[in-house]
């Protein structure tokens, strides 16, 4: 059973992942690069907690106790000690991911399983820098994890054949719907459809075809949607959006 979880990177997604694990009774630690970054993670969690309670109807006192139990750590070796599973959610830059996975490989116990939440990179690319490629797999969470509760699970050729099933069961244990990808494919299922939608919206604005409010409006009215591409970019976060565009090369002269 995977009970002790370390979330590496407490930004937009890492804080949500930590919260989702905590409210499903996992023992959770968040690692980030500085006390300031951890203070940011706490702020994210305080805000996302309210949204989670509203969306799921969970008991506010119980959620508060589970949130209070989350530990915060700036010392990576201390953070990863005794952990069953590491979920990495650092920025979508290979250099940053390479750096943290190298350090995690040195510091983690031999049995600890490694998961990346990368949006665009193939797991095999990151597996090449870890000391235990057989225990390495990608598990992609969607923004607003408790509500958009899919977990896209993608192994690489060197993944232990039993690991996808284990991660499938872990995903279910934290209230997610496991989505099993048959083979490595950049950007999984959702982002293969979602990213072109965002970049097409950006391209319309960049080329002066319409202002961004109008672009969002037509989408929201005609597809009965709560947000258009620009509203969704606000939720994704600009830093991640730019990193995704750079990584995929899907820029259409926008950034
Ligand atoms: P973010 O920029 O909001 O947060 C990244 C966090 O990582 C920050 O707290 C930062 O301080 C920390 N960090 C930076 N360098 C670090 C290091 N060396 N070690 C540990 N922590 C470090 O980014 P995000 O949007 O949360 O994205 C994180 C990952 O999740 C990316 O791989 C992204 O592609 C993926 N993802 C994002 C979304 C989304 O909608 N934002 C959705 C699914 C997956």
**6-45 confidence digits (pLDDT tens):** 999 999 999 999 999 999 999 999 999 999 999 999 999 9
Q: How far is the CA of 85 from the centre of ligand 1 (A)?
A: 17
Q: What is the DSSP letter of 142?
A: P
Residue with tokens 């937009």: 12
Give the pair of three-digit tokens for residue 72: 């915060």
Average pLDDT over every residue of 176-189: 95
pLDDT of 176 above 70 = yes
| 112-144 pLDDT, tens digit each | 999 999 998 999 999 999 999 999 999 999 999
Q: Residue 113: name the closest of 249, 202, 2 by CA.
A: 2
Which residues sit with their C-beta closer than 6 Å to ligand 1?
8-14, 32-33, 37, 40, 89-92, 96, 99-100, 117-119, 140-141, 143, 236-237, 239-240
Average pLDDT, the chain: 95
Whether the CB-CB separation of 137 and 123 falls below 8 Å is answered with yes
Residue with tokens 């031999």: 110
Q: What is the DSSP letter of 3?
A: -
Whether the CB-CB separation of 112 and 86 falls below 8 Å is answered with yes
Q: How high is the pLDDT of residue 252?
A: 47
Q: How far is the CA of 54 from the centre of ligand 1 (A)?
A: 25
- Measured between alpha carbons, how far is 170 from 213 in angstroms, rounded to an integer? 40
Q: What's CA 117's distance to the chain center, in Å? A: 4
Give the pair of three-digit tokens for residue 36: 């300031």
Q: How far is the CA of 221 from the centre of ligand 1 (A)?
A: 32
Give the pair of three-digit tokens for residue 152: 């896209």
Atom of ligand 1 nearest to the CA of 99: 18
**Burial bucket for residue 240 (CB in 10 Å: 0-12, 13-18, 19+):** middle
Q: What is the DSSP letter of 133?
A: G
Q: Residues with Cβ < 8 Å from 132, sequence gap 6 or more?
A: 105, 110, 114
Report H helices in the chain.
Answer: 12-22, 35-56, 60-68, 76-80, 94-107, 123-127, 163-173, 190-206, 212-222, 229-236, 238-248
Atom of ligand 1 nearest to the CA of 243: 34
State whether residue 20 is helix, strand or coil: helix
The better pLDDT of the pair 195, 36 is held by 36
Average pLDDT over every residue of 57-73: 98
Write the residue with the smallest CA distance to atom 11 of ligand 1: 37
Q: Residue 67: name the closest of 122, 101, 30 by CA.
A: 30
């Amino acid at each position: 059973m995977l009970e002790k979880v370390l979330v590496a990177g407490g930004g937009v997604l890492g804080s949500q992942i930590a919260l989702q694990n905590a409210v499903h009774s996992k023992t959770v630690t968040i690692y980030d690069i500085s006390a300031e970054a951890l203070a940011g993670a706490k702020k994210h969690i305080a805000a996302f907690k309210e949204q989670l309670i509203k969306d799921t109807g969970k008991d506010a006192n119980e959620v508060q106790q589970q949130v209070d139990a989350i530990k915060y750590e700036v010392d990576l070796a201390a953070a990863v000690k005794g952990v069953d599973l590491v979920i990495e959610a650092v920025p979508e830059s290979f250099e940053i991911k390479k750096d943290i996975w190298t350090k995690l490989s040195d510091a983690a116990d031999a049995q600890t399983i490694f998961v990346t939440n990368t949006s665009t990179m193939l797991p095999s690319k990151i597996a090449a820098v870890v000391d235990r490629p057989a225990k390495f797999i990608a598990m992609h969470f969607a923004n607003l994890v408790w509500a958009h509760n899919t977990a896209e699970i993608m192994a690489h050729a060197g993944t232990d054949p039993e690991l996808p099933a284990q991660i499938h069961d872990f995903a279910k244990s934290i209230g997610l719907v496991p989505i099993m990808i048959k083979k490595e494919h950049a950007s999984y299922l959702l982002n293969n459809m979602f990213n072109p939608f965002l970049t097409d919206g950006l391209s319309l604005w960049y080329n002066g075809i319409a202002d961004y409010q109008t672009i969002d409006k037509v989408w929201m009215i005609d597809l009965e949607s709560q947000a258009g591409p620009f509203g969704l970019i606000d939720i994704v976060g600009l830093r991640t959006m730019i990193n995704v565009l750079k990584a995929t090369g899907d820029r259409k002269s926008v950034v």
